[in-house]
Structure 1
Amino acid sequence: MNIEQARFNMIEQQIRPWEVLDSAVLQLLAVVKREDFVPPAHRALAFIDTEVPLPEGQAMLSPKLEARMLQELKVQRHESVLEIGAGSGFMAALLGHRARDVITLENRPALAKMAADNLRRAGLAHVQVREADGREGLPGSGPFDAIMLSGSVATVPEALLAQLKPGGRLIAIEGSEPIMQATLYTRQPSGSFSKVVLFDTIAPRLDGFAEPTRFHF
């Protein structure tokens, strides 16, 4: 496989047509080596429009979904970012190239180790992996300029929204199959939150977040 041609095709045939037009994001995807964050057994899937299997039944999001969420969060160089769901560490690596510092939370030890090893090899010393449950965020280290949930939840917990600075943004995929939506929350100076639905999509569930009550008749 010609890796650079495959990377080019991923960007031009999958990502750009999915309304990812930010030149900085596209350039970053050309530079950060996604294949280095994919388990060796699935390396052939690194540039395919699919979720890549990870240990313990988890998965990397598809390349176009990663890129679109990164674009919509609009992280700036001076900002501090929290990610929920480190997975293999690829999204944290992308965020690390755009932010001042990044903390990514992962509650599965095998994945936390994988992410930490991958990020260390990538030379991203300002990106920290912490083995922790992401439902409550990281109140002791906040507030944050941006929070990314790298997976879906039924609804975003208020505890996470409360860890945004004024002007801070949180992006998440909310809902339940077959209807999920990428949603951007912004904390206003007054402390209230605005909410914008960005696009429809489907993504694997993040561990441990509450599910809606199901009624049985």
Structure 2
Amino acid sequence: MKPLYCSDGGDVKVNSPPCHSPGAILPDLPQAAEDPDKNCGLSKDATAPETQAWLARHRFTQHVPTFTNFSGADLLRLSRDDIIQICGLADGIRLFNALHAKRIEPRLTVYVCPSGCTVYSVLYLHACRAAELLHKLRTLLPPTSKECDTVLVSGPNGAPVRLTDELVRHLPDNSTYRLERIEDDTLLLSPTGN
């Protein structure tokens, strides 16, 4: 950017425009992979107050008064051109895209059955990281149990293999595992033959 020159009483001063951080210029990124459902689109069954809350949550607060009496179905019925006419070009396109956004599909789906249970829980992994899987495995443990820091996966011939990002990326999609605690702070994921 060019510096701005101004003179006050014979003195020449150079005023540089303020430098903006990328966060101030770029839009917010979607929510963390731990809960991608927070980014879901507006439901057609949403009431007017739920629609107002959705608009505010998705940074359309300035348009909440405009859509005060709109239900989810009313807002979803509007065409792209209608929304652009109401909100202006930039916000109209952004609102239309937010309303019609598709849910992000998980990269990996894993089914886990904690020891002592017969029912499997499904874990959807979006980032395919060891930390993401560990976070989701902790939700399957009783709340009173000690935090687990280490996860081992039963490898070839039952060899315990430390869970890493690379190992998570290479887990087969739709695979099933049994989860057991082998030490106070260590979990073991063993593949089941199902």
Settle same-fold status: TM greater than 0.5.
Answer: no
- What TM-score does the superposition give when structure 1 sets the normalisation length? 0.20
- What TM-score does the superposition give when structure 2 sets the normalisation length? 0.22
